[in-house]
Amino acid sequence: MRRLDQLLANLGYCSRREARDYLKKNSVTVRGAPVRDPSSKARAADVLINGEPLDHPDGLLLVLNKPLGLVCSHDEREGPRVYDLLPERWRARNPQVTSIGRLDKDTAGLILLTDQTELVHKYTSPKHKVPKLYRATTDRDLCPDLIPLFAAGTLVLDGEDAPCAPADLRLDPASPRTADLILTEGKYHQVRRMFAATGATVLTLHRVRFGNLTLGDLPPGQFRPVAESEI
């Protein structure tokens, strides 16, 4: 059981201060009985607002097809943010919706967003080793020697002490400057830096897969809720 004002504020309907007014202006019921007192307690599953159940009361987990040019930071000074794509009520949630790991401004593709702090920790922890598949194009033809180099788990990036974990590189037989790279960790700008360590510059980068999740036919800029069991 939680206080109604807290529940409404956490789910982004209104601030705690606005809850009294919100309850006046909207038909809020708990197990069918109208409620006006913001301090009354309820189970989220028993609450209806204007006849509708609460919006994802147990937390959000979204897969977004990140377009180029958006940042995963919350800092507006860094440019337009992936969170700006979300409905206002989701942007007002507390805990706030945040990305699980980050993609660079110049990287597109699959990113997970959640307001469940424990999922952020779980899937960004080096212990977890979720495979992430990236498709990269580069400024030069890629040599098959890179496959054992990336697989060896010995490549040390500029400014790092520990080597990169073994990574699975698959060259595209139809396009010598295109490759898929599967990483199980997420060092800063890792794909770009791994290729840079071999003299190649990544020109385009797209994340195709996170664990078992793919984007399917989700267009850039669109998102959909997913269950954790899908990862």
Which residues carry out catalysis? 104
205 binds ligand URA per the rule CB under 6 A: yes
* β-strand partners of 217: none
Give the 3-state DSSP-derived string for 166-182, with helices as H, strands as E and coil as C.
CCEEEEECCEEEEEEEE
Distance (Å, whole) CA 135 – CA 40: 52
State the SS3 of 1-26: CEEHHHHHHHCCCCCCCCHHHHHHHC
Selected from 70, 190, 200, 206, the binder of ligand URA by CB under 6 A is: 190
Q: Any contact of residue 10 with ligand URA (CB under 6 A)?
A: no
Minimum gap (Å) between residue 102 Cβ and ligand URA: 7
| 114, β-bridge pairs | 61, 98
Which span sits near ligand URA by CB under 6 A: 82-90, 101-109, 112-120, 161-169? 101-109
Structure tokens at 183: 């990483």
- Output the smallest distance, CB 2 to ligand URA, in A: 37
Give the DSSP H or E segment for 62: strand 61-66
Task: Kindly state whether residue 103 participates in binding ligand URA, applying the rule CB under 6 A.
Answer: yes
- 66 forms beta bridges with 109
Size, binding site for ligand URA by CB under 6 A: 8
185 binds ligand URA (CB under 6 A): no
The β-bridge partners of 49 are 28, 52
What string marks each residue from 18 to 57 as x (binds ligand URA by CB under 6 A) or -? Answer: ----------------------------------------
Q: Are 172 and 180 in contact (CB under 8 A)?
A: yes
Kindly state whether residue 104 participates in binding ligand URA, applying the rule CB under 6 A.
yes
Q: Does 167 bind ligand URA (CB under 6 A)?
A: no
Beta carbon of residue 77, minimum distance to ligand URA (angstroms, whole number)? 19
Burial of 134 (0-12, 13-18, 19+ CB in 10 A): buried
Q: Is 138 in the site for ligand URA (CB under 6 A)?
A: no
Least distance CB 189 / ligand URA (angstroms): 4
Binding interface with ligand URA (CB under 6 A): 103-104, 107, 189-192, 205
